[in-house]
Structure 1
Amino acid sequence: MNALKLKNYSKLLAGVLLLILPLFLQQMNDYVLHIAITIGIYIILSLSLNIIIGYAGQFALGHAAFYGIGAYTSALLMLQWNVSFWVALPAAAIITGLFGLLLGSPVIRLRGDYLGIVTLGFGEIVRLVFVNWVDVTRGPMGLPGIPAPTLFGYTFTEKTDFYYLILVLAAITIFVVHRIIHSGIGLNLLTIREDETLAQSIGIRPVKYKLMAFALGAFFAGVAGAFWASYISYISPDGFRYMDSVNILAMVILGGSASIPGSILGAVILVLAPELLRYVDDYRMMLMGVAIVLMMIFKPSGFWGEKHRKTNFYRLQRGEHKP
Structure 2
Amino acid sequence: MNKTRLKQLKEIFLNYGILILVYLVVQFFLQAGSVSSLMKGLLVPLCIYSILAISLNLVVGISGELSLGHAGFMCVGAFSSATCSMLLKGSGLSPILLFCIALFVGALCAGVLGILIGIPVLRLKGDYLAIVTLAFGEIIKNLINALYFGVDKAGWHFSLKDSNAISLGEGGTWIIKGAQGITGTPKYSNFTIGIVLLILSMLFIQHFIHSRTGRAVMAIRDNRIAAESIGLPVTRLKLLCFSISAAFAGIAGVLYAHNLSSLQALPKNFGYNQSIMILVFVVLGGIGNMRGSILAAVVLTLLPELLRSLNDYRMLIYAVVLILMMLFTSAPNFIALRKSIVEKFRKKEVAA
Alpha-carbon spacing, 1:260–1:13, altered in 2? closer, same or farther (3 Å): closer
Pair 1:36-2:75 in alignment: no
What CA distance in whole angstroms lies between the structure 1 residues aligned with 2:276 and 2:125?
18
Q: Which runs of 5+ in 1 are unaligned?
A: 150-160, 308-323
Matches within 5 A, 1:233-312: 233-238=261-266, 239-300=269-330
From 29, 41, 62, the counterpart of 1:24: 29
Give the superposition deviation at 1:80: 2.6
Moved more, 288-297 or 99-108: 288-297
Q: Please tell me the residue identity of whatever aligns with 1:212.
A: L
Q: How far apart in 1 are the matches of 2:140 and 2:129?
A: 17
Q: Distance in 1 between matches of 2:116 and 2:285?
A: 29
Note the 1:1-323 alignment, pairs <5 A: 12=17, 15-25=20-30, 26-82=33-89, 84-135=98-149, 137-149=176-188, 162-238=190-266, 239-300=269-330
- Quick check: 1:42–1:248 contact (8 Å CA) kept in 2? yes
The residue aligned with 1:321 is none
**Displacement of 1:206 after TM fit?**
1.3
1:118-175 Cα distance to aligned partner (Å, 9 max, x none): 01100110111111113463122121110133xxxxxxxxxxx711110111010011
**Normalized against structure 2, the TM-score is what?**
0.77
Matched residue SS, 2:123: coil
- C-alpha distance in 1, partners of 2:131/2:22? 42
Residues 178 and 207 of structure 1: is their aligned pair in 2 closer, same or farther, counting only changes over 3 Å? same
Q: Describe the superposition over 1:59-117 as per-residue Cα deviations: whole angstroms up to 9, x where unpaired.
A: 11110000010000001111134472211111210111000001100011101110011
Cα offset, 1:297, TM superposition: 4.0
1:29 positional shift? 2.2
**Residue 12 of structure 1: how far off its partner (Å):** 3.9
2: CA distance between counterparts of 1:39 and 1:69?
A: 20
When the two chains are superposed, the root-mean-square deviation of aligned CA atoms in Å is 2.5
Gaps of 5+ in 2: 92-97, 150-157, 159-175, 340-352
Q: Could you tell me how far apart the structure 1 residues matched to 2:238 and 2:273 are?
A: 24
C-alpha displacement of 1:33: 2.1
Query: Structure 1's 276 and 31: CA in aligned 2 closer, same or farther, altered over 3 A?
Result: closer
CA separation in 2, counterparts of 1:222 and 1:196? 29
Deviation of 1:296 (Å): 3.1
3-state SS, counterpart of residue 67 of structure 2 = coil
Count the aligned residue pairs.
Answer: 295
- Give the residue type in structure 1 aligned to 2:183: P
Q: Contact (CA 8 Å) 1:22, 1:33: kept in 2 or not?
A: no
Inter-partner Cα distance in structure 2 for 1:216 and 1:187:
15
SS in 1 for 2:76: helix
Query: Does structure 1 conserve the Cα–Cα contact (< 8 Å) formed by 2:74 and 2:270?
Result: yes
Contact 2:285 2:329 in 1 (8 A): no
In the other structure, the counterpart of 1:312 is none
**Alpha-carbon distance in structure 2 between the residues aligned to 1:192 and 1:8:** 26
Please say which structure displays the higher CA radius of gyration.
Answer: 2
Asked if structure 2 preserves the Cα contact closer than 8 Å seen for 1:75 and 1:230, the reply is yes
Give the match's secondary structure for 2:258: helix
Q: Which residue of 1 aligns with 2:173?
A: none
Equivalent residues of 1:139, 1:237 under 8 A apart: no
Report if the CA contact (8 A) 1:257-1:301 is conserved.
no
1:36: Cα distance to partner?
2.2
| Offset, 1:245 | 0.6
CA distance in 1: counterparts of 2:88 and 2:23, whole angstroms: 35
Per the alignment, do residues 79 and 6 of structure 1 end up closer, same or farther by CA in structure 2, a change over 3 Å counting? closer
1:165–1:203 CA distance, 2 compared to 1 (3 A): same
Change (3 A) 1:273 1:77: same
Please tell me the residue identity of whatever aligns with 1:182.
Answer: H
The alignment-based identity, stated in percent, is: 36
* TM value normalised by structure 1: 0.84
Cα 1:234–1:210 change in 2 (3 A) is same
